[in-house]
């Protein structure tokens, strides 16, 4: 599918299975979610531009490389928070913005309640992170939110995506590449991904 990268790796498949298992306790869910995020970060960043510079090893002068773009990681609260540490472990130079959205349980429409972004949003490469892309309403709204704040270069990183969620993002934000670990069968009548892993925010924070 256009603009969609499914990051399929044995270690990620193993970890997604742990997250799917309803017997997995909250503390393990958090650990594994963060670990998967770190592994996904390698693929999401693998075409990042680099700047060459000169450095001195203890032996002689040689070339070094640093990332060209400023990176801003934006988790969608709450569940996206569970992926931040995994990304920051490999992108320690990144700044972190936050966008707070929840899905109204009746209408399934996203409601925004918080946002705070670094001033550098307009000239940064922005990674919007949220484990679940279900109806796509939250991702669509979060991407619009970021664009209204002048973000121009955005990638969406989720863990489990549904075909309708992917379609919505591709339709409304065709410029935004989507990365996920797995595309599931679909949605149930409550808008939950099936087979999915349940409510990612509740399982991360023990509020189920
Ligand atoms: C979850 C998830 C996404 C959203 C996905 O958040 O983290 O943000 O649902 O669903 P959608 O694609 O149908 O919009 P939720 O609303 O449960 O809030 P929470 O993270 O605070 O629990
Ligand atoms: N939000 C979740 O956390 N899980 C789903 O399956 C759908 C939306």
Asked whether the bond before 195 is cis by omega within 30 degrees of 0, the reply is yes
Report CA(48)–ligand 2 centroid distance (Å).
30
Residue whose CA lies nearest to ligand 1 atom number 8: 138
pLDDT tens across 165-185, in order? 999 999 999 999 999 999 999
Find tokens 């939250």 and name the residue. Answer: 138
* Contact in structure between 38 and 88 (CB atoms under 8 Å): no
Pocket flag, ligand 2, residue 132 (CB < 6 Å)? yes
Q: Work out how many domains the chain is built from and give that number.
A: 1
Q: What is the pTM of this model?
A: 0.96
Q: What percent of the chain lies above the pLDDT cut of 90?
A: 92
Atom of ligand 1 nearest to the CA of 80: 7
Atom of ligand 1 nearest to the CA of 135: 13
Give 156's pLDDT tier (boundaries 50, 70, 90): very high
Q: Say if residue 1's pLDDT is above 80.
A: no
Q: Which of 80, 82, 191, 200 to mutate to test the pocket of ligand 1 (most atoms within 8 A of CB)?
A: 200
Token digits of residue 91: 């992108």
Q: What CATH number corresponds to the domain at position 12? A: 3.40.50.2020
Q: What is the residue-wise DSSP string for 169-188?
A: HHHH-TTS-EEESEE-SEE-
Note the pLDDT tens digit of each residue in 76-115.
999 999 999 999 999 999 999 999 988 788 888 888 899 9
Mean of pLDDT over the chain: 96
Q: Give the Å distance between the CA of 23 and the centre of ligand 2.
A: 17
Model pLDDT, residue 97: 97
Domain span holding position 182: 4-205
Q: To which H or E segment does residue 158 belong?
A: none
Per residue in 35-50, pLDDT (tens digit) is: 999 999 999 999 999 9
Q: What is the pLDDT of residues 112-134, one digit of tens each?
A: 899 999 998 999 999 999 999 99
């Amino acid at each position: 599918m256009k603009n969609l990268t499914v990051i399929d790796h044995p270690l990620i498949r193993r970890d997604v299975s742990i997250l799917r298992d309803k017997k997995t306790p909250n503390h393990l869910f958090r650990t594994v979610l963060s670990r998967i995020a770190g592994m996904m970060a390698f693929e999401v960043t693998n075409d990042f531009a680099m700047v060459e510079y000169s450095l001195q090893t203890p032996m002689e002068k040689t070339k070094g490389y640093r990332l060209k773009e400023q990176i801003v990681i934006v988790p969608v609260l709450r569940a996206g928070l569970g992926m931040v540490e995994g990304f920051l472990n490999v992108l320690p130079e990144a700044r972190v913005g936050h966008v707070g959205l929840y899905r109204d349980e009746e209408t399934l429409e996203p409601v925004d309640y918080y946002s705070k972004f670094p001033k550098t949003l307009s000239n940064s490469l922005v990674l919007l992170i949220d484990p679940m892309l279900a109806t796509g309403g939250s991702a669509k709204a979060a991407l619009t939110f970021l664009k209204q704040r002048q973000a121009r270069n955005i990638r969406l990183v989720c863990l489990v995506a549904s075909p309708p969620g992917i379609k919505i993002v591709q339709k409304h934000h065709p410029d935004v590449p989507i990365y996920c670990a797995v595309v599931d069968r679909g949605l149930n009548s409550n808008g939950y991904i099936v087979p999915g892993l349940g409510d990612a925010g509740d399982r991360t924070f023990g509020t189920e």
